[in-house]
Structure 1
């Protein structure tokens, strides 16, 4: 494979646009009319919304970024829609100069960089050039990253300063030639110097089905698959305003006027939702924290010094934060805590629900986020799906059901899964998730785990592994758990410890009371024995997905010999 000569930010044309005009005016007056008066709800794309705010309400805050990424205690500075739109135009002019004419329409451009405003700026700028950004997870191995570049026919990979090594390791593995180009700094585009406008003024009907970006599946059970999002899919929450049941409370009500933080990476759909749907669609503000790390202390700093009022994240982040006094205090001071991607433990939620509102969110890369009715804290674990999702639940075992979506022509606007090209020709989409029906309310459902969480033991009895994993995770020293035992007479637990220096005997002493508590209430076949507990190797740990959640099958494969020994010793 040939690698084209690299172009740095310094040896390309100026990143700040071709025309330098006066500084951006930021008037403080409010718009005479609202966005809903000018742009019809449910029929407006991101570019229209951003342009409206930049022109009619330019001082409105789009995002907040650290004053000093190395010291979040120095505070955050707000970025207005006028500044955001101007940055997009600067970026679009730069891209138009460094990119060759495309061979095919909407050719992808990949980017590797820190978690900052360059991602949303570049996404919108590429959309103006009728290209699409390829977002690739950093947790994927290099072969998988190169696979995504190759399969999407991506010919250009951009990178930020400090990420050259990542790109140089991927490029030789790509099929065909790829151009590697360094992108300018965030501040080069967030300049006060006004750019000449880069015009892209397609109507809703013209733009809605055009490609916007490429995400990908997790790749934990094989090579990741690219998922193309359209302009319509990036404003999906706006369509809830025209749902038949739009009068009910929704997540949109929680977005409006609040500063939101998410620790998920920019390659994840939730982060892109926060950057665009929570802001331009929902009226919130996206707060960007540390650009490369998401430790508990840095999350706390982002929430405190970024003056955040709400957070959305996988449960594992909350599990860690509540174990720290300042983390717990900070979370309890928020208006909303949204969790998704896995179940939150009752022990964690119980420390929060008396202080803040805890809400569950559900979605996948393929389906986007499903539309649910928020529930009170007494039902924090339960979902009530809005009828326009077209969801049905299929019985699997006991009180467990699989969620599936039935394609219905009258619900086309709200069934995002069938807007994905891979599923456009199917009539039923199965989520692979296990749900439990509420004991008294048949319209409420609780996420239990995945279909592969149902482990069939040798005696044909089944164990819901995720329930045991959640129980064992309540031990303070535990960093992660994978439970298995398919086809065996008893289950096993693969346990990752927070402090790798603790010896296995001390780990077992601390964990065993939690195991005993489980065994007292579990059926005979689901009980865990001491000799069926295996601690992970230091430095090896468990295999995790992009949401930092342990993944069962790859983790079992990683410790296949040790697990085999458990049953043959």
Structure 2
């Protein structure tokens, strides 16, 4: 909220400071420290612009004055939608909105219009900012919701103009008061149902910033970079984009570099390699699909081996690829998080345990076996009292201290403290013969084929299961293509019982780009299954 006093320095106690006050304190004490870097044009060969903490705060103030002049100040943490290109304006709007008393709402522009409008209604959002690239979308919003006030903001280059701007006042609150203030609204992926808005208060970031006991783990890897660049090609509206663009440069010692918005960076191997080389990136944070694409590029694995480490998450990484990367000197660290739970702290694994996660013991993760005969467990939280509960984002986002994630893991056969993510409860296929099949490892084998862009096992409540195959290019001779890829499907079939394997006649070749995909590039199983429902039904009829 606005005030008449200049910002005070941020408190030194980690886990008891807000993003806003920490940003302002760093801009005051380390004004020339690099915060981030963005491409000058859509072509990364034209170069990048680095910007400092001081320059970011100037851009925030410039945007805050615009918000105050166009929408006014908020006295009740109203929701301010931002729809824009995937760039650092998401960070600028976030902090400018906080200064003006709003909480910012990030939406995936590729969601169906009806879903996004329903979420606007859910959180009573009637004000918006947008970049010029999203004007047509905002016009559709306003046609359906006439009460929505919307204003176009300046370009990223204009917000970072060199001229000084008048300081926009903001008053720091004590942590015990500030921890309850809402700052941002994200939304669930919508993988298994309509997406839902999730409000983050300052307290929801406490676990990210807490100095965990004896922590030499993944959370502190960012501090070891000592200001070097990290590349995290997640969309800016996504939880990963929020983390890497707006949280980690402030709460740790790293700087972020972003890719051109239109380049599909989460799936673009050559682009990632170029950015890593020209910006001297030290750490990569990536979804598994990007590691697959980089590994297919000439010299890609050697470039990855030169990084201090790679954090990957959002889904399992194919074991054969991970083993190859590790054998060639790549340091892999598996991480886990969700929009509801944020990033759950973990310790760094040994090289041979790259695909396993050791959750920090102070996080107090609990486990629920899927059923009595299963080796799969669901990650859970139990009520552990206020000190532990407040470190968990679910305490703030869902207002619960008991929580079931619907995410499934298996326990290491000899190291009971290690767990491997294998998929969602919703991913498990229940076949007509009552068998339960985890399709993820089977699909990962098939996806390794160079002619295949995506593979999805299907056949819920039918038997035997089927495979939907998305080729990289248009296929003129489908039967020849099926024969070509059949050996790798046979290899994948070895991972399941004989009576639950996919027969040759149950291989369906769809069209390039046919699957519904998440912002991280992964296949959205349930939306894709609904889209392909007629194809699947036709096979079994």
- Same fold by TM-score, threshold 0.5 exceeded? yes
Shift of 1:101: 4.9
Task: Establish whether residue 254 from structure 1 lines up as the match of residue 214 from structure 2.
Answer: no
> Are residues 343 and 247 of structure 1, via their aligned partners in 2, closer, same or farther at CA, if it must alter by over 3 Å?
closer
Match of 1:81 among 53, 58, 68: 53
In structure 2, runs of 5+ residues without a counterpart are: 1-8
State whether residues 343 and 447 of structure 1, in contact with CA within 8 Å, keep that contact through their aligned partners in structure 2.
yes
> Are residues 565 and 250 of structure 1, via their aligned partners in 2, closer, same or farther at CA, if it must alter by over 3 Å?
closer
List aligned pairs for 1:50-69, cutoff 5 A: 50-66=23-39, 68-69=40-41
Task: Establish whether residue 413 from structure 1 lines up as the match of residue 390 from structure 2.
Answer: yes
Match of 1:316 among 269, 277, 289: 289
> Are residues 231 and 509 of structure 1, via their aligned partners in 2, closer, same or farther at CA, if it must alter by over 3 Å?
same
Q: 1:283 matched to which residue of 2? A: 253
Q: 1:14 matched to which residue of 2? A: none
State whether residues 406 and 429 of structure 1, in contact with CA within 8 Å, keep that contact through their aligned partners in structure 2.
yes
Q: 2:96 matched to which residue of 1? A: 125
The alignment partner of 2:284 has SS state of strand
Show CA shifts across 1:340-394 (max 9, x none): 1100002322332232211111111011011111102210110111122221111
Shift of 1:502: 4.8
Distance 1:150 1:236 in 2: 30
State whether residues 211 and 230 of structure 1, in contact with CA within 8 Å, keep that contact through their aligned partners in structure 2.
yes
Distance 1:430 1:254 in 2: 29
Normalised to the residue count of structure 1, the TM-score between the two structures is 0.88
Shift of 1:210: 0.3
Show CA shifts across 1:121-174 (max 9, x none): 110010011101110002201111222222222222211123211211222223
Task: Establish whether residue 446 from structure 1 lines up as the match of residue 416 from structure 2.
Answer: no
Distance 2:261 2:455 in 1: 28
Match of 1:389 among 340, 343, 363: 363
Shift of 1:247: 3.9
> Are residues 188 and 519 of structure 1, via their aligned partners in 2, closer, same or farther at CA, if it must alter by over 3 Å?
closer
Normalised to the residue count of structure 2, the TM-score between the two structures is 0.92
The alignment partner of 1:452 has SS state of helix
Distance 1:487 1:163 in 2: 41
Q: 2:462 matched to which residue of 1? A: 488
The alignment partner of 1:163 has SS state of helix
Task: Establish whether residue 166 from structure 1 lines up as the match of residue 137 from structure 2.
Answer: yes
Shift of 1:520: 4.2
List aligned pairs for 1:346-385, cutoff 5 A: 346-353=319-326, 354-385=328-359
Distance 1:48 1:404 in 2: 32
State whether residues 191 and 525 of structure 2, in contact with CA within 8 Å, keep that contact through their aligned partners in structure 1.
no
Q: 2:5 matched to which residue of 1? A: none
The alignment partner of 1:162 has SS state of helix
The alignment partner of 1:232 has SS state of helix
> Are residues 532 and 387 of structure 1, via their aligned partners in 2, closer, same or farther at CA, if it must alter by over 3 Å?
same
Q: 2:403 matched to which residue of 1? A: 429
RMSD: 1.9
State whether residues 184 and 200 of structure 2, in contact with CA within 8 Å, keep that contact through their aligned partners in structure 1.
yes
In structure 1, runs of 5+ residues without a counterpart are: 1-34
State whether residues 235 and 277 of structure 1, in contact with CA within 8 Å, keep that contact through their aligned partners in structure 2.
no
Distance 1:566 1:184 in 2: 52
> Are residues 528 and 72 of structure 1, via their aligned partners in 2, closer, same or farther at CA, if it must alter by over 3 Å?
same
The alignment partner of 1:292 has SS state of helix
The alignment partner of 2:111 has SS state of coil
State whether residues 482 and 551 of structure 1, in contact with CA within 8 Å, keep that contact through their aligned partners in structure 2.
no
State whether residues 116 and 291 of structure 1, in contact with CA within 8 Å, keep that contact through their aligned partners in structure 2.
yes
Match of 1:398 among 374, 395, 399: 374
Aligned residues: 523
> Are residues 182 and 506 of structure 1, via their aligned partners in 2, closer, same or farther at CA, if it must alter by over 3 Å?
same
Distance 1:560 1:206 in 2: 50
Task: Establish whether residue 209 from structure 1 lines up as the match of residue 209 from structure 2.
Answer: no
Q: 2:14 matched to which residue of 1? A: 41
Show CA shifts across 1:72-93 (max 9, x none): 1233232111111111111111
State whether residues 59 and 80 of structure 1, in contact with CA within 8 Å, keep that contact through their aligned partners in structure 2.
yes
Distance 1:151 1:413 in 2: 25
Distance 1:190 1:101 in 2: 23
> Are residues 326 and 148 of structure 1, via their aligned partners in 2, closer, same or farther at CA, if it must alter by over 3 Å?
farther
The alignment partner of 2:128 has SS state of strand
The alignment partner of 2:109 has SS state of coil
> Are residues 328 and 502 of structure 1, via their aligned partners in 2, closer, same or farther at CA, if it must alter by over 3 Å?
farther
Distance 1:41 1:417 in 2: 19
State whether residues 203 and 393 of structure 2, in contact with CA within 8 Å, keep that contact through their aligned partners in structure 1.
no
Match of 2:150 among 180, 183, 198: 180
The alignment partner of 1:248 has SS state of coil
State whether residues 217 and 226 of structure 1, in contact with CA within 8 Å, keep that contact through their aligned partners in structure 2.
yes
